A and B are shown apart, each in its own frame.
Chain A
Amino acid sequence: MEESQTSTIKISEVSYHDLCAFVNYLYTAEVNLVDDQRAEDLLAMGEKYQVKHLKAYCENFLRSKVSASNALKYLTFATKYKAEDLTEASLNVIIENMNKLKLQDEYKELVKKDPHLVIRIYDMVGLSAGEKHFIKGGIDQDLRSDGRKRLTYRPISIETGVIPQANGSARLRMGDTDVIATVKAEIGKPSHLHPNRGKVAIFVDCSAIASPVFEGRGGEELSTELSVALQRCLLGGKSGAGAGIDLLSLNVMEGKICWDLYIEGLVINADGNLLDALGAAIKAALSNTGIPKVNVAAEFSAEEQPEVDISDEDFLRFDTSSVPVVITLTKVGKHYIVDATSEEESHMSSAISVSINSRGQICGLTKRGGAGVDPSVVLDMISVAKHVSEHFIMKLDSEISAAEADEAVS
């Protein structure tokens, strides 16, 4: 072999500077992308020598450089080196600027040279009204891996009164996701900031039964995230406006006695969409909750805590009509889906949980996942969630009343 004799290998297809940068990256994991050309060359080398980090890094760099003027060039480039993200980014730009690009020579050349790429572009654009309708129909007919459409929930089943020790409880199953929510009411003292309001605390426990990942402190992060999101959705603003649970109704005697509600969620089996399931379970548990009537002793001095007599027989039902439901829309690629399974959640780039009450008002919103989204997408997701919530609230209400009826019979 020539190489063994001369002890040199000629790499002819890359420039000296690119090679320097490449070798430098291999040793230091640092790279200085001076211009687009350098990034393109390094991406090509990354693909050739299977240095995935470098390729991903260059791809990310180039993604932000895609514009209407160079999108066609990058599409050809990205498909050649199998850079999926860059392909998608350039396709998006092309679609937005299709009317302009069609007139360019570059586009005509592409039609001759790479007809399969043009087909790929046309796959994504609905140009005529007929095509638009066809694609929209395709989205509407979309089938997920379990046969659902994009915006349908898995079947829900609810059992109420499962925990006799609690004032109210419910177990909710949504596909394989299985959660229990309990409500306990205790007599407490209102805080001096809000003397006429009760207190509500929400905790979520991701038990180790659900997944070995949750063992020890593993579930802590998720638990906190879920509890905070639920608090945000159910408790409304600081002044109490828009709260799903009316804190004033928990007041027994101003400044002296109030009810403290402890709402606890337990995850038994986690198969995605925990937040929606917990939100719905809490709504069911609250409607199952009976708060005992309290008689306060008539005579007491100003400093003393008055004596209370808690009735065993008379219960007050909780009004849950204003308790919102949580709708989580997961963004996978370009589309949103509801009620994602854990498999689907693993593909998510970002998700938005919107809580919506029966009047169609937004009562809380949390974004999950770190990836950035365009503000217009957020607003679009909110309006989709609003649409979904109408059906979901109806379905949930009928399930809850059916569960209550079952419990009364048994």
Chain B
Amino acid sequence: MSSKSSSTTTMITTYSPSPTVKNRQPIIKDVDWARPDKRGFHQCRPAYLNTGTVNAASGSAYVEFGSTKVIVSVFGPRESKKASMYSDIGRLNCNVSYTTFATNFRGQGTENKEISSMLHKALEGAIILESFPKTTVDVLLWCWNPVAVSFLLCDLPVVISCASLALADAGIMMYDLVTSVSVSCLGSNLIIDPITEEETYQDGSLMITFMPSRHEVTQLTLTGEWSTPRIHEAMQLCMDACCKLGEIMRSCLKDAAASSES
């Protein structure tokens, strides 16, 4: 105990409160530029997926993509709130919360509302809402990215994929798993699955949410200036990655089902 307290005191003495100003890297437009985490341009971050992390929920998933961590719990289908009107199809309620300490600026802005509505739109098309009339499914989400300055869109694909994994774990009927991948356009390069640093310098981005087996796009957003052939190229790249991510998610669900049976 005493050694521990002495170590903390030494830490205090050596601590210098200098603000961490990162060196701003120039936007390099040549081809042989390396990504900060040494990935190839068309290589996604290493992913870790797990289901059934929250006991209280009907279904849950924990996903780690690089430094982004997301936990999703799915509750329901349960009775809709009294105030809501009768509906012969089910309702989906998405709520994204971003931990207040997750970003450099403490507190939550309006971003989580935007993210919630985007998540809702991405999932809504995949869920068979007719299968639970009069009830609500709640998708509650908690996200943490230690290096983010504010909520950046680079986390959104992770959030969406994780939410669909949790829905599948909860046994909510869906037409297909929803997978999502984004690409950033940096100069003349297209880089897949950008991290925060890269996203700060990007010229444009494209995010797709995709149902691999049905080959359908549920959401698509694009920023920056693009020509049509380039959009085509980026979409192909994203869809290819989505299909691969879909397979990984499927095998994760199969493993979980197999281990619960045995």
Contact = CB atoms under 8 A, between A and B. Distances in A.
B224 A241 contact: yes
B216 A239 contact: no
A219 to B, nearest CB: 14
Contacts of A221: 117
A237 B217 contact: no
Contacts of B120: 370
Given A56-B130, A221-B117, A386-B228, A238 B222 contact: no
Interface in A71-124: none
B117 A237 contact: no
Interface string B110-136: 100110010011111110101111100
B203 interface: yes
Interface in A361-410: 361-375, 378-379, 382-383, 386
Given A29-B132, A237-B185, A374 B217 contact: yes
A210 B205 CA distance: 34
B199 to A, nearest CB: 6
B175 interface: yes
A57 B175 CA distance: 11
Interface in B196-233: 199-206, 210-211, 214-228, 231-232
A326 interface: no
Nearest to B206: A365
A242 B88 CA distance: 44
Contact of B203 (A30, A241, A373): A241
Contact of A53 (B88, B110, B175): B88
Which bucket holds chain B's interface residue count? 35 or more
A57 B204 CA distance: 40
B239 interface: yes
Given A53-B133, A242-B203, A370-B124, A236 B231 contact: no
Interface stretch (A141-149, A224-232, A257-265, A280-288): A224-232
Given A237-B204, A364-B223, A386-B228, A373 B216 contact: yes
Interface in A237-254: 237-239, 241-242
A60 interface: yes
Nearest to A367: B220
A374 B130 contact: no
Nearest to B24: A193
6 contacts: A56-B130, A57-B131, A357-B225, A366-B222, A367-B217, A370-B123
Given A367-B217, A367-B221, 7 more contacts: A29-B131, A64-B175, A370-B122, A370-B124, A372-B216, A374-B215, A375-B216
Interface of B: 27, 88-89, 110, 113-114, 117, 120-126, 128, 130-134, 175, 185, 199-206, 210-211, 214-228, 231-232, 235, 239
Q: Closest 4 interchain pairs by CB?
A: A242-B225, A372-B216, A237-B224, A370-B124
